[in-house]
Every structure is written in C-alpha cells, then in structure tokens.
Amino acid sequence: MVAMMMKVVTRTYTFTPTLLTQQQLLATAMEAGAPTAAGWKALCGLLYQSLQYAASLRATEEALKWLEAQAAAGHEYLGQCALFLKVIHARSLLKLGRVDEAEEEFGVLAGRCCYF
C-alpha cells in the first residue's frame, strides 16, 4: 500500500524543487510583474545562500527600489523587510570585496554615522 501511495505522489509531483529551481521560480515571478515583499526577501536570501553574491546584490537593489516605490505610492512601508534586504546587500558587498561600501552600509545599519 505504501508503494502505491509513493507512485501516486511521484506522478503528482514530477520534480523535487532544488535551490536553483526555487530561485528560477521566484525570479520568473518577479520579472512577470508579481513582486511581493516576501518574494523579494526569499529571492535575495536564496541567491545569497547559494553564493551568487553579484546576483544577490542586483536583486537587493531592485527589491529596495520596489519597497521605496510602494511606500511612495501610499502602501505600508515594510521596515523589517527593508532591514533584511539591506543586511543581505551589505553582506553581498563584503563577499564581493567591496569592503569600504560594505563598512559604510553596516555603519548605517548599526545606527552610527559614517561621515568623517
């Protein structure tokens, strides 16, 4: 009986989503005009975790622009999502060797001014 159930499940789900597949699905949804804060957050996090730092950097920049546009249009500003995206952005800068920019962003996130 378990073997029969496994056949049904394998017929229903033709693939097992891998990290790359999840990234492709999220990126396609974002490009197709279905952006959400949770979608941007998931995409940027997955890109960073899969060591695609340049792609993560670009995605976080686009996500932050989208969040700002949403806030300018009168929608709720999602500060926690923006904070997460800024941390991923700064960490991506650091991994790409752009230490000065990363240090400045981490300083702003830490609440101190970096203008010396």
What average pLDDT values come out for the chain (116 residues) when binned by 10 residues? Answer: 41 45 68 74 87 90 90 82 92 92 87 56
Q: What is the pLDDT of residue 86?
A: 93
Length of the chain in terms of residues written: 116
Instruction: In whole angstroms, give the CA distance from residue 97 to residue 9.
Output: 45
Global pTM? 0.69
| pLDDT at residue 52, as a whole number | 87
> In angstroms, how far is the first alpha carbon of the chain from the final one?
71
* CA–CA gap between residue 85 and residue 64 (Å, rounded): 7
Q: What is the pLDDT of residue 93?
A: 94
Q: What is the pLDDT of residue 9?
A: 39
Q: What is the H or E stretch that residue 43 is in?
A: helix 37-49
Predicted pLDDT of residue 64: 92
Please check whether residue 67 is in contact with residue 77, taking contact to mean a CB–CB distance below 8 angstroms.
Answer: yes
Q: What pLDDT is stored for residue 57 in this prediction?
A: 92
